[in-house]
Amino acid sequence: MPEPTSVVFSADDFGLTESVNEAVEIAHRDGRLAQASLMVAGPAAADAVARARRLPHLKVGLHLVLVEGDSMLGHARLPHLTTPDGRFGSDQIMRGFRYFFSPSARRELAAEIRAQFEAYRATGLVLHHADSHKHMHLHPTVAGLMIAAGRDFALSRIRVPAEPPAVLATCGTLPSLGDRALYAWSRVLRRQVRRAGLDCTDHVFGIKWSGHMTAERVQTLLAHLPPGTSEIYFHPATRQDAMLAALMPGYRHTEELRALLMS
């Protein structure tokens, strides 16, 4: 008997701006959105939590931010990780090296990860899952610290960003060498997750088409989903406000919202 196929639609950056939060609420209430990942230190986190409390069937998890976003602990506690305004920079590759080679950076990293889990628990929301901004938890050090902290907060699921290149090709998008390398590297995280006894879907889609998950692409993808469990993640918003325009100028946020509202 062939392996059954199932899919869940999710949204990232819940708590970044009110336009994102509005889209999450609309897409869950009127569309296909089942889960969202919360930035606990995001500028609109309080608004996101209030909306989530009104949506008892929305499954919410922690969107761990360790790059290009606000920290919980601030620069005084994270001098090796943040700029003076308490933000993580966008230098993702250099951060990866720092996390490997700097004991001071790793100590601060561990404290910040725990602080974000604690902030999530303080919301009173059930922790359905965890993932990270820009998939920073693909870094084995980040993943290890995330899993270790998560044990104390009843973490049971982690996203493993594993997008099969063969499916992209079937959908008409030629995967690059980078796409293939990322898919191969995701096996390291999957091993860490499974060794810890945590759950994850078999496949994740939204990496290659990040910010461009239009209704047409979703329909194409749904027609070619591989057997097993899949997650398709989005970056919806009701409008591209100033912050989204600055951080994600090429993203088609409103089109991704429309994709989540398709029948």
Per-residue pLDDT tens over the stretch 209-224:
999 999 999 999 999 9
What was the pLDDT predicted at 67? 95
What was the pLDDT predicted at 44? 98
Write the CA distances from 245 to 18, 19, 89, 176, 237, integer angstroms.
Answer: 14, 12, 17, 27, 11
What was the pLDDT predicted at 100? 85
The fold for domain 5-260 equals: TIM Barrel (3.20.20)
Helix, strand or coil for residue 176? coil
Average pLDDT over residues 45-49: 98
Average pLDDT over residues 194-212: 97
Q: How far is CA 90 from the centre of its chain?
A: 16
What was the pLDDT predicted at 28? 98
Average pLDDT over residues 137-155: 96
Beta-strand pair 228-234/203-205:
parallel
Judged against a pLDDT cut of 80, whether residue 184 lies above it is answered with: yes
What was the pLDDT predicted at 96? 87
Average pLDDT over residues 87-96: 90
Summary mean pLDDT of the chain: 96
Judged against a pLDDT cut of 70, whether residue 2 lies above it is answered with: no
What was the pLDDT predicted at 263? 56
Average pLDDT over residues 74-79: 97
What was the pLDDT predicted at 16? 98
What was the pLDDT predicted at 1? 42
Query: Which spans in 74-176 are helix H?
Result: 92-101, 103-122, 140-151, 165-170
Judged against a pLDDT cut of 80, whether residue 240 lies above it is answered with: yes
**Residue 3: band (very low, low, confident or very high) from pLDDT cuts 50, 70, 90:** low
* Domain ranges (residues) in the chain: 5-260
Measured CA to CA, the distance from residue 69 to residue 16 in angstroms comes to 9
For the purposes of burial, counting CB atoms within 10 Å of the CB of 57, is it exposed (0-12), middle (13-18) or buried (19 or more)? exposed
Residue labelled with tokens 């912050």: 243
